[in-house]
Amino acid sequence: MALGKAFLLFGPPGSGKGTQSQLLREKLGFSHLSTGDLLRKHLKNETELGKKARVYMDAGELVPDEVVIGMVQDSLSDFPDNKDFVLDGFPRTRDQAIALDALLNDLNTEVGTCMFLDVETDVLKQRLVGRRVCKSCSTSYHVDFAPSKQEKVCDICQGEVVQRRDDSEEVIMERLIQYEKKTAPLKEYYKQKGILVVLKGENKPDVVFQDVLKIVS
């Protein structure tokens, strides 16, 4: 038995990785692994890993590779056999990409396609500053482009809708710098493997999703 194929949603902070992953989960029943969501769960539960990660996340820096790779390894072993899945926000460094190839190889699978969501920096900043998320179910909103029906109340679960700690202007700037320095070079890694596809991430979410669907189906 083997896991299904891994599809990567890759791109800068605010490019829509979480939004497209949520659609894949809802519409196609994909398994979904977001390292950002997993880390935030550790923060919320005040685990040892969470305490270690908080310092990096609050500063907009990447959490050390060994912490994130270990977390992904644990999660992948719980994924169902023969079902394709999406990785959102992982890998973010060359070492993480190499570790992922090895982990997937051990599970008799591989990366199918790396979908790069291409979005201009000014648009990214606008999206991140206005983003709000539900504290309970993590549904994402935007104060201007996709507001919740009732202010600060989640449409789905009625949980409290708040701003993420790392969505302050100062931390957003640092996240973008870290992305350019450590993560953007991975585009070349997947291009050389012949599995990089560039999507127009500035289109409306449902239009981007049509492009995603063409790739995963």
Residues that bind ligand AP5 (CB under 6 A): 11, 13-19, 35-36, 39, 56-57, 60-63, 68, 89-90, 92, 96, 127-128, 131, 140, 142, 145-146, 166, 175, 204-205, 208
Nearer to ligand AP5, 195 or 203 (CB): 203
Sign of the C-alpha dihedral computed for residues 30, 164, 42 and 73 taken in this order = positive
> What is the largest distance, in Å, between two alpha-carbon atoms of the chain?
47
CB of 82 to ligand AP5, least distance (A): 25
Structure tokens belonging to residue 87? 């990785």
Residues 6 or more apart in contact with residue 128 via CB below 8 angstroms: 13, 14, 167, 172
CB nearer ligand AP5, residue 37 or residue 110 = 37
CB closest to ligand AP5, residue no: 36
- Residue 1 CB, nearest distance to ligand AP5 (Å)? 27
Catalytic site positions: 17, 92, 131, 164, 175
Q: How far is the CB of 68 from ligand AP5 (least distance, A)?
A: 4
Q: Which residue number, 3 or 40, has a Cβ lying nearer to ligand AP5?
A: 40
Q: What angle do CA 187, 188, 190 make, to 5 degrees?
A: 70
How buried is 66 (Cβ within 10 angstroms: 0-12 exposed, 13-18 middle, 19+ buried)? exposed
